[in-house]
Structure 1
Amino acid sequence: MTLMMDDDISKHLQIIESGLEEREDKVWMKENIIKAWLFCHEQRIRFIYGRTMEMPLVLPSGLCKLSLSSCSITDEALAICLGGLTSLRNLKLEYNMALTTLPSEKESLTVSSSVLLNHMLMAEGFTVPLNLVLLYCKEPSVSFEEPANLSSVKCLNFLVCEMESLPRNLKSLSTLESLSIGCCPNIASLPDLPSSLQRIRISDCPVLKKNCQEPDGKSWSKFRTFAGSTSTNTKLASLDLPLEINEKLQAPGNSFFLNHNSTSLSKFAALLEYFAVAWSWHLLQVIFLMACYGTKENCVYCLCHFTAAASCQNLLKKQGYELRQLKDLNELGGSLRVENLENVIGKDEAVESKLYLKSRLKELALEWSSENILHLDVLEGLRPPPQLSKLTIKGYRSDTYPGWLLERSYFENLESFELTNCSLLEGLPPDTELLRNCSRLRINFVPNLKELSNLPAGLTDLSINWCPLVMFITNNELGQHDLRENIIMKADDLTSKLALMWEVDSGKEARRVLWIDYSSLKQLMTLMMDDDISKHLQIIGSGLMEREDKVWMKENIIKAWLFCHEQRIRFIYGRTMEMPLVLPSGLCELSLSSCSITDEALAICLGGLTSLRNLRLEHNMALTTLPSEKVFEHLTKLDSLVVRGCLCLKSLGGLRAAPSLSCFDCWDCPSLELARGAELMPLNLAGDLYIRGCILAADSFINSFFR
């Protein structure tokens, strides 16, 4: 991945690395690791098949032992490699992630002499396999004396050969689909090619390369005839030619496509990907060509089985990358992600995509990566099909929803709705009927969200992440001066706890937690900004950005954070209107991260969630205790609890009464009192207990702590 590193790949590699370092075996962790690995693996496969020059594995024919481990070798490369190893006794293949199948019994034949090949062809009952390779052939000329017996050959390779010309009767190979010529410096021209040929690849053949160039190359007319075919059986030419030739091949009017009438659809999709990566064609251009030249069945297949790549349109300010490319692709199915919507100049251009007509589409992601003033107009024009089951909006910069998100019955069966990095929205779409069938709701990085009402009654999975202006508090807690000051007094004790936490790893984990909360504090303090708060926020921000770990810097950061935290607590408890978190009783998954929820608000919220299985509480700085035993007794299905970065949490409350809890993670909660060991732990904890970044008393491991 060092050859193709970008932020997405780096992020997924970090997920894999950090997840594999964890000792506990959690369902959510397993899923995250697998998803991240699959993402990176997809990038690896695209990179391998996107190369512009072949690299066969050519080994001496007398090889007896071969071991290939943790390297990238494709199915065909392995088949060709093994085809000539007649002396091979031991073969070991380990961790080769590009392999999907082993060579078949008669998939490949490798010979080093055309004379030998012709003798084989004349043998009674001999059948040539699908792949034929001439390797290290030293004969100056090659001919096929019995071309009729080559009727089964679909792939023909000439590798590291000294011949001066290709077989003149190559045209008689009636089923040949792929021709590869590599490291054959003496070959100067192309013979007549069979009409069945769909792909030709030439590399490291300087004379032939020169003769295939326009306008004076001796073989240019044949190559041009082949590459420029406009028949229904359009073909693919993949040549190691200069950039200007590739540009000509990609020019309008030239069709480079797989013969979809005689080739499997899986190969059809694979070669589309090759186009997109190796020739830098944008994937949507490939889909556009597929819609023009391919069949509807091909289109549907590729969009269902090639979703990760073929469903992404990365809009650029250049011809061929506009939204109108989607206009006539009404058979589009599966999922579609449209990026860089800031490059769309207005509603009219967005309407040209005609997304609303794509009734086969199941999942849609609309993404902006920078600001402009037209977000609302563009989103208004990107009206999706009512049949959609999943909608994601990312990077949207407007405080108003488009009209179609205000129509109460617009979606027929929208099951998943996600808002990510939508910085100006203050709430969900106002009409509860719009999301009536929604079972999964994700709200990530929506910093101006101030209320969470109109939740779907059938919701089973809810995640609220980094919404610092959402403050859940009960009417009973409003204006309680004594309670508020008691919480602030307890926070003073946090100075020494944070200092101890800082010492463990030179402040690495403490800095991480404080940086996450610093972002929340900056947003929250916009509601109550004064000079003192601004000054303390600057101390936190500049201190956390410094790489060195100085004692005075650590103390200044902690003191500044405590000051801002006190203002936060006073602000939350000083509100004049309650805001309870009322959730549907059928909720199974709940994640609350970097939002403000008080002890009583959490207890009341959890009290009615009898179907809850997984609960995550992260970076919630207003929490000081978990709910009582009475609340946990009713959570009969709760299987997993994760508490992370809640710096002011002092008590696990009645957690020990949770009847079915099997996994408990507690990270970076330095205020938590764990001195009584087994008295605090769930009675039926049967799975994993993971404690990190918490302060344990010397006797914490006494009295059957791990019973």
Structure 2
Amino acid sequence: MNFSHLRYLGLCGLDIKTIPDSIYSLRKLEILKLMNCGKLYSLPKNLTRLQNLRHLVLSGCDSLSHMCPDIHKLCELRTLSVYIVKSEKGHSLAELCHLNLGGKLSIKGLENVGGVCEAQDANLKGKDDLRELSLSWDNCGETNSVAGEEVLEALQPHSNLKRLDIIGYGGSHLPTWMGNSSALNSLVSLQLLLCKNCRQLPSLGRLPFLRKLEIRSMDYVRYIDEYESYDGVEAKPFPSLEELRVLFLPNMERLLKRETTGMFPSLSMLMINKCPKLQLPCLPRLTYLFVLECKNELLRSISNLNGLNQLHLRGSEVSYFPEGTMNSMTSLASLQISYFSELKELPSDITKLTALSHLSIDHCGKLECLPEQGFEGLSSLRHLTISRCESLRSLPEGVSQLTSLQSLTMEFCPALMKRCSEGTGEDWHKIAHIPSVILKGSD
């Protein structure tokens, strides 16, 4: 069969280290997709023979370390999802100069850029069809920080860009264009990951359409925006931000250096992991909060979040919740507390959560009791799950008055499950009215 007129070729999940030379016979090929070829090490050296190639899509090819040389010769190329910079001839960043690329582009190996001129020659600012751009250094900030700053400054993208990821950058400051609302006027999503040496962030709160922001593993950052002169309704910080993830930031103290009443007017989802110094302000629109490795300071501050609908607290060594932690969460519908290895008891004010419909408690091995007084106040509770709470021995009497409760699931809580066994357990009368009772694991 003659494949010489083939225009599209997709290879998925193949156990190959390189593409066979027979690909050169596909002179009419316009689209080449290589997906989940985990052992693929390099692209064919003479891939540029495919002069009609318009779209080269690489996805899930994690072992890929070499592109084909002289990729600038593919003058019809419009999509190049991955480009790997090398110091050898034909693999420089300047190869991208005259390619009219659009869609998504991930540039890896930026530690191999020879200098500012090479970065400027990439002409990212001139690529107005690019919508997603990822810039990554493979040695997580171990390169010369000054050189890295100059390179990144020269890699300013076009203002049409929607998503930007910066990974492993070694500089102490991010480029000036990142805090310029006109330079990133269309930006919707931003990720800053593993920028270990970065001392502070630019004025990200000025970006008018930014909806998603993730900041991860930046040891020196204390605030996600240090700009102090947001004044007036028209200048509210982060006016469009809906989702915020702050992860592994050991010195982060507050979200903004100068917190104001108008900040984060659209923020609905917040995820926090290993930010031991962080305290939260009032965030009236926040409906979902997920916190990993909580400290008491952070637990105290969540009492400000009276609009929460879902709260997941996971992984902590606190023995008790600070007083008043959940006093004002009148809208909370779902609460999950998991992997609190030292927790002895739940906060007593949990019984005031009259809107709570889902309560899940798991892997709290030292939890001895649920609040005995007022548990019947959880009048909206429909689903209760208790798992891996080996020290929990009984349910509060108020459970018998929870007429909305539709399901109770208990897993690997031997003492508690024994008391709730049908017909013989001492607590059976408390749960007999529940339509669905599931007991799993007796040891």
Using structure 1 for the length normalisation, give the TM-score: 0.41
* Match status 1:469 vs 2:263: no
Residues in 2 aligned to 1:313 and 1:631: alpha-carbon distance in whole angstroms: 51
The alignment-based identity, stated in percent, is: 21
Deviation of 1:680 (Å): 8.8
Residues in 1 aligned to 2:71 and 2:362: alpha-carbon distance in whole angstroms: 47
For the 8 Å contact 2:202–2:225, the answer to whether it is kept is no
Match of 1:590 among 264, 282, 289: 289
Match of 2:218 among 443, 446, 456: 446
Q: Which amino acid aligns with 2:120?
A: V
The secondary structure found in structure 1 opposite 2:313 is strand
Match of 1:704 among 416, 431, 440: 431
* Match status 1:651 vs 2:343: no
- Residues 649-695 of structure 1: CA distance to partner in whole angstroms, max 9, x if unpaired? 44245344445555544444445443458939954344573534664
Q: Which amino acid aligns with 1:697?
A: R
Deviation of 1:412 (Å): 1.2
Match of 1:599 among 283, 289, 299: 299
Q: Which amino acid aligns with 2:431?
A: S
Residues in 1 aligned to 2:384 and 2:148: alpha-carbon distance in whole angstroms: 46
The secondary structure found in structure 2 opposite 1:345 is coil
TM alignment of 1:247-646, pairs within 5 A? 250-251=45-46, 255-256=49-50, 272=56, 282=66, 288-290=72-74, 292-293=75-76, 299=78, 303=79, 310-330=80-100, 332-370=101-139, 371-373=142-144, 374-430=147-203, 432-433=205-206, 435-453=207-225, 456-471=238-253, 580-582=279-281, 584-594=283-293, 596=295, 597-604=297-304, 606-607=305-306, 610=307, 612-621=308-317, 624-625=320-321, 628=325, 630-633=327-330, 635=331, 638-646=332-340
Change in Cα spacing, 1:653 to 1:408, as seen in structure 2 (3 Å) is: farther
Residues in 1 aligned to 2:379 and 2:15: alpha-carbon distance in whole angstroms: 52
For the 8 Å contact 2:87–2:114, the answer to whether it is kept is no
Residues in 1 aligned to 2:433 and 2:86: alpha-carbon distance in whole angstroms: 58
Deviation of 1:311 (Å): 0.9
Change in Cα spacing, 1:621 to 1:429, as seen in structure 2 (3 Å) is: farther
- Residues 482-504 of structure 1: CA distance to partner in whole angstroms, max 9, x if unpaired? xxxxxxxxxxxxxxxxxxxxxxx
Residues in 1 aligned to 2:98 and 2:131: alpha-carbon distance in whole angstroms: 17
Deviation of 1:419 (Å): 1.6
Equivalent position of 1:492 in the other structure? none
Using structure 2 for the length normalisation, give the TM-score: 0.63
Residues in 2 aligned to 1:469 and 1:655: alpha-carbon distance in whole angstroms: 30
The secondary structure found in structure 1 opposite 2:12 is helix
Equivalent position of 1:8 in the other structure? none
Deviation of 1:250 (Å): 4.3
Deviation of 1:339 (Å): 1.7
Residues in 2 aligned to 1:315 and 1:680: alpha-carbon distance in whole angstroms: 63
Bigger radius of gyration among the two: 1
Q: Which amino acid aligns with 1:47?
A: L
Deviation of 1:366 (Å): 1.4
For the 8 Å contact 1:622–1:648, the answer to whether it is kept is yes
Change in Cα spacing, 1:402 to 1:390, as seen in structure 2 (3 Å) is: same
Q: Which runs of 5+ in 2 are unaligned?
A: 1-9, 32-41, 227-236, 256-272, 396-415, 421-426, 435-443
For the 8 Å contact 1:599–1:623, the answer to whether it is kept is no
The secondary structure found in structure 1 opposite 2:301 is helix
Residues in 2 aligned to 1:359 and 1:463: alpha-carbon distance in whole angstroms: 28
For the 8 Å contact 2:353–2:377, the answer to whether it is kept is no
- Residues 106-143 of structure 1: CA distance to partner in whole angstroms, max 9, x if unpaired? xxxxxxxxxxxxxxxxxxxxxxxxxxxxxxxxxxxxxx
- Residues 399-422 of structure 1: CA distance to partner in whole angstroms, max 9, x if unpaired? 212121232432212222222112
Q: Which amino acid aligns with 1:335?
A: K
- Residues 10-51 of structure 1: CA distance to partner in whole angstroms, max 9, x if unpaired? xxxxxxxxxxxxxxxxxxxxxxxxxxxxxxxxx991426877
The secondary structure found in structure 1 opposite 2:219 is coil
The secondary structure found in structure 2 opposite 1:443 is strand
Q: Which amino acid aligns with 1:446?
A: M
Residues in 2 aligned to 1:622 and 1:675: alpha-carbon distance in whole angstroms: 16
The secondary structure found in structure 1 opposite 2:286 is coil
Deviation of 1:450 (Å): 1.9
Change in Cα spacing, 1:288 to 1:598, as seen in structure 2 (3 Å) is: same
Change in Cα spacing, 1:439 to 1:227, as seen in structure 2 (3 Å) is: closer
Equivalent position of 2:423 in the other structure? none
Deviation of 1:457 (Å): 3.2
For the 8 Å contact 1:235–1:255, the answer to whether it is kept is no
Q: Which amino acid aligns with 1:459?
A: L
- Residues 306-365 of structure 1: CA distance to partner in whole angstroms, max 9, x if unpaired? xxxx412222333333211221223x2222222222112332222221111122222222
Q: Which amino acid aligns with 1:674?
A: C
Change in Cα spacing, 1:340 to 1:418, as seen in structure 2 (3 Å) is: same
Q: Which amino acid aligns with 1:316?
A: K
Change in Cα spacing, 1:362 to 1:662, as seen in structure 2 (3 Å) is: farther
Deviation of 1:383 (Å): 0.8
The secondary structure found in structure 2 opposite 1:600 is helix
Q: Which amino acid aligns with 1:590?
A: L
Q: Which amino acid aligns with 1:632?
A: M
Residues in 1 aligned to 2:118 and 2:71: alpha-carbon distance in whole angstroms: 19
The structure where strand makes up a greater share of residues is: 2
Deviation of 1:380 (Å): 1.0
Change in Cα spacing, 1:388 to 1:658, as seen in structure 2 (3 Å) is: farther
For the 8 Å contact 1:284–1:325, the answer to whether it is kept is no
For the 8 Å contact 1:325–1:353, the answer to whether it is kept is yes
- Residues 231-274 of structure 1: CA distance to partner in whole angstroms, max 9, x if unpaired? xx5899xxxxxxxxxx9x9459x72456x7xxxxxxx75xx569
